[in-house]
Amino acid sequence: MSAKGGEARFLLAKGAGRQMGLLIYLDGAFIPREEARVSVFDHGYLYGDGVFEGIRAYDGRVFKLEEHLERLYDGAHHIMLQVPLNRRELAAATLETLRRNGLQDAYIRIVVSRGVGDLGLDPRKCPRATVVIIADKISLFPQEYYEKGLAVVTAATRQRCSDTIEPRIKSLNYLNNILVKIEAVQAGVMEAIMLNTQGYVVEGSGSNVFIVNKKGELITPPTYLGILEGITRNTVMELALAAGLPVREDIFTRHDLYTARECFLTGTAAELIPVISVDRRTIGAGIPGDLTRRLMERFHTYVRSTGIPYA
């Protein structure tokens, strides 16, 4: 793929003019979803070797694109993965993917894998990374749960230790999170919360955790516990501080979770969603709390008034 004047140039795959639904960006070309293919020798498929980002677009604006790309490139740098596009080119490709699919509100998935190699682990056998951008709709939870709240459980699966794999790398290996999601499904709920090996609350299968304690303080686990530093998490903290709400990062246990006045989860796909019970212990009054609702309203207003326009 070549670039001119810092802007990405794109190819339209044969047949893509007869759009068969979604168009997928794949290594510089836009290909109908039904025809988009990645090699079985790609190390992203074989070993989960790569990084990704989930991003949202609201009303024709991409929310926190620069922050997401910074995390993507930081993770790629950490694992010595050379992204074949610079940030400006990847941003342009992301916006163009949204335009070509005619999406005003969307979930965007950028995937950069190690690329095609052999059956060995050696990343030097992969001469060029594979870049995929998907723009589509997403709905993690039915709307009724945003209004009435989620019941969740705590998972037996523990968070991976941060001294083994750096949690700030949003890698393609999500098996630990999938095991947590399986526990939620087996328990008959839609989400589960992980603890670390010391018993402290860390995060959900794909979300960050917040509680409101009896003093009215908004608390979320600190990053040093081994959580992914969520961009929605950071946005919520900024909105809370701007509104004069007491917010801090601190450790807490299941007991603090059970006895919290309020609880909610945050994530790019989930946004903000209230939690009304944990392990069958009712949280607060068993309905979404006032502070949670206020932050949900502020967040929804904020995301639709900021971001990079592309329409």
List pLDDT tens digits, range 55-101: 999 999 999 999 999 999 999 999 999 999 999 999 999 999 999 99
Give the sign of the dihedral formed by CA 135, CA 141, CA 146, CA 150.
Answer: negative
State the helix-helix crossing angle for 231-242 and 65-78, rounded to 10 degrees.
Answer: 140
Instruction: Give catalytic residue positions.
Output: 170
Neighbours of 146 (CB within 10 A): 16
| Distances, alpha carbon 169 to alpha carbons 147, 162, 180, 279, in Å | 32, 11, 19, 30
Q: How confident is the model at residue 6 (pLDDT cuts 50, 70, 90)?
A: very low
pLDDT of 8 reads 58
Q: pTM for this one?
A: 0.92
- The CATH T-level fold of domain 3-136 is D-amino Acid Aminotransferase; Chain A, domain 1 (3.30.470)
Q: Which pLDDT does position 13 carry in this prediction?
A: 55
**What is the tens place of the pLDDT at every residue in 123-169?**
999 999 999 999 999 988 999 999 999 999 999 999 888 777 888 89
- Rounded to whole angstroms, the Cα distance separating 296 from 38 reads 38
Contact present, 219 and 210 (Cβ < 8 Å): yes
Q: Is 251 exposed, middle or buried (0-12, 13-18, 19+ CB in 10 A)?
A: middle
Q: Is the pLDDT of residue 25 over 90?
A: yes
16-20, 30-34, 267-271, 299-303: the lowest-pLDDT one: 16-20
pLDDT recorded at residue 289: 97
CATH of domain 143-303: 3.20.10.10
Read off the pLDDT of residues 156-212 as tens digits, 9 standing for 90 and up: 999 888 777 888 899 999 999 999 999 999 999 999 999 999 999 999 999 999 999
Instruction: List, by residue range, all CATH 3.30.470.10 domains of the chain.
Output: 3-136
Determine the pLDDT at residue 194.
97
Cβ atoms of 58 and 45 closer than 8 Å: no
Could you tell me where in the chain the CATH 3.20.10.10 domains are found?
143-303
